[in-house]
Amino acid sequence: MTANATARRTVRVNLGDRSYDILIGPGLISAAGREIASRLKGRKIAVVTDEHVAPLYLDNFMAALSAEGIDAVSLVLPAGEKTKSFEHLIGVCDSVLAARIERGDAVVALGGGVIGDLTGFAAGIVRRGSRFIQVPTSLLAQVDSSVGGKTGINSSHGKNLIGVFHQPDLVLADTDVLDTLSPREFRAGYAEVAKYGLIDKPDFFAWLEKNWRAVFAGGEARITAIATSCQAKADVVAADERENGQRALLNLGHTFGHALEAATHYDSARLVHGEGVSIGMVLAHQFSARMNLASPDDGKRVEAHLRDVGLPTTMGEIPGGLPPAETLMDAIAQDKKVKGGKLTFILTHGIGQSFVADDVPQSEVVAFLREKLPK
Ligand SMILES: NC(=O)c1ccc[n+]([C@@H]2O[C@H](COP(=O)([O-])OP(=O)(O)OC[C@H]3O[C@@H](n4cnc5c(N)ncnc54)[C@H](O)[C@@H]3O)[C@@H](O)[C@H]2O)c1
Ligand SMILES: [Zn+2]
């Protein structure tokens, strides 16, 4: 057994006959051919990636496939959130069809959450559903977006509003590739790692408070943090695949976060998703304290940790100014987590004690946002 194989972890997502493995560890891009060939009936693959990831990893990945006799074509798309569009969806579907990918073959997303969401959607609709493999290359994609089967694109009405549930057949999370991720993108993904602790794993949050430097440095602690996060998400997804209940907990910090992303027009120079989630998680804890559901000390602890790792924790840190509280409230109300006009929020009784609150008064949220917005 090689050193790489020893360090590797496997997390199983249990979904009956749609169950799949998430392999986590170093060297998985080079090992991708073997891992895929042993699981795939077909011998053809269409790889979709973006212009940042392609020069770094596409050649290696294609060589790994070809070494196992897999015939692969690739499509390189522009990087960034705007790629999650109808225009690019059409492009991906067309190139998958042009490559004559049949049902036993597979479509692969090699990239961050943008490539994963778009490619997964295409795989979900081409030939009414094609096999799909995620090779997530950002921390966010490894701990969150590549797991659980939510796919989609954005609309002028909001983020992720058009898509399908389509589970992957395999996820290969090569932890080495995170070394080329910008520190800012690594931190943004880390917000989602911390999120799993804050949802229902207080011990994991405490472990992160102690070990985050090692997680950032790489090696064993990083693999542990990613595997723990994937296991947490896998457990939630196995219990509630279609978000009828508890899966909504994964949206901790996201209602505020999405409103901030909308307010900054998805301009990644101002705010990336994980940064919005970081600020959003702090706001969710502060709002819970304001509603007398949690101690203000928990919010302070969350804020201190996220600030330590270098994430923004307040709306005032977002460059370029924000609209008034009422406008942010409109964005929140347009978010899909609104049922029958009532606001569904993920609130908390404390660290690791989040819950789904179905009936949050809008007026309280507006008053809270007014207080928290920079003057
Ligand atoms: N489907 C889900 O369940 C789910 C969950 C969370 C987030 N998302 C979605 O994921 C997206 C965000 O994902 P993201 O943060 O990965 O964004 P991203 O895909 O835009 O990647 C971030 C940046 O890092 C670059 N990059 C990726 N891997 C790299 C590497 N190894 N080395 C160097 N650069 C690299 C990308 O090219 C991009 O510029 C959002 O669209 C969000 O809505 C989906
Ligand atoms: Zn998220």
For the stretch 285-293, contacts whose Cβ atoms lie closer than 8 Å and that sit 24 or more positions apart, written own/partner, are 285/198, 285/348, 286/368, 286/372, 287/345, 287/347, 287/364, 287/365, 287/368, 288/347, 288/348, 288/349, 290/364, 290/368, 291/347, 291/364, 293/347, 293/348, 293/349
- Same domain for 325 and 273, yes or no, is yes
State the distance from the centre of ligand 2 to the C-alpha of 192, rounded, in angstroms.
6
Ligand 1 near 261 CB (within 6 A): no
Q: What is the pLDDT of residue 7?
A: 85
Q: What is the pLDDT of residue 336?
A: 53
pLDDT digits (tens, 9 = 90+) for 22-36: 999 999 999 999 999
CATH number of the domain enclosing 58: 3.40.50.1970
Task: Among 179, 209, 228, give the residue marking a domain's end.
Answer: 179
Ligand 1 near 152 CB (within 6 A): no
Among protein residues, the one with the nearest Cα to ligand 1's atom 34 is: 181
Ligand 1 near 161 CB (within 6 A): no
* Strand partners for 170: 21, 133
- Same domain for 134 and 235, yes or no, is no
Task: Among 179, 204, 226, give the residue marking a domain's end.
Answer: 179
pLDDT digits (tens, 9 = 90+) for 102-156: 888 999 999 999 999 999 999 999 999 999 999 999 999 999 999 999 999 998 8
Where b means 16+ CB within 10 Å and e means fewer, 291-312 reads eebbeeebbebbbebbeebebb
- Same domain for 159 and 189, yes or no, is no
Nearest alpha-carbon partner for 164 in 118, 229, 216, 209: 118
* Strand partners for 151: none
Binding-site residues for Zn(2+), in ranges, read 192, 254, 273
Q: What is the pLDDT of residue 244?
A: 81
Ligand closest to Cα of 159 equals 1
CB atoms within 10 A of CB 341: 7
pLDDT digits (tens, 9 = 90+) for 154-165: 988 778 889 999
- Same domain for 232 and 135, yes or no, is no
Where b means 16+ CB within 10 Å and e means fewer, 106-145 reads bbbbbbbbbbbbbbbbbbbbbeeebbbbbbbbbbbbbbbb
Ligand 1 near 114 CB (within 6 A): yes
Task: Among 152, 179, 206, give the residue marking a domain's end.
Answer: 179
Q: What is the pLDDT of residue 13?
A: 97
State the distance from the centre of ligand 2 to the C-alpha of 273, rounded, in angstroms.
6
pLDDT digits (tens, 9 = 90+) for 216-236: 999 999 999 999 999 999 999
- CB contact at 8 A, 256 and 335: no
Q: What is the pLDDT of residue 232?
A: 97
CATH number of the domain enclosing 253: 1.20.1090.10
| Torsion sign across C-alpha atoms 82, 86, 91, 95 | positive
Ligand 1 near 247 CB (within 6 A): no
Q: What is the pLDDT of residue 337?
A: 57
Q: What is the pLDDT of residue 335?
A: 63
CB atoms within 10 A of CB 325: 17
- Same domain for 175 and 187, yes or no, is no
Q: Tell which one of 52, 88, 178 to mutate to probe ligand 1, the residue whose CB is within 8 A of the most ligand atoms.
A: 52
Residue numbers of the chain with a pLDDT score lower than 50:
1
- Same domain for 234 and 120, yes or no, is no
- Same domain for 253 and 358, yes or no, is yes
Nearest alpha-carbon partner for 302 in 318, 274, 322, 279: 279
Angle of helix 362-372 relative to helix 273-290, nearest 10 degrees, comes to 110
Structure-token pair, residue 1: 């057994």
Structure-token pair, residue 285: 């804890």
Q: pTM of the full predicted structure?
A: 0.95
Phi, psi of 347 (to 5 degrees): -115, 180
- Same domain for 33 and 113, yes or no, is yes
The overall average pLDDT reported for the chain is 94
Contacts of 165 (CB under 8 A, 6+ apart): 124, 149, 150, 151, 241, 242
- Per the structure, the complete domain to which residue 363 belongs is given by 183-372
User: Domain tally for the chain?
Assistant: 2
- Same domain for 136 and 196, yes or no, is no
- CB contact at 8 A, 119 and 108: yes
- Same domain for 172 and 198, yes or no, is no
Q: What is the pLDDT of residue 1?
A: 46
State the distance from the centre of ligand 1 to the C-alpha of 229, rounded, in angstroms.
16
- Same domain for 234 and 330, yes or no, is yes
- Same domain for 236 and 338, yes or no, is yes
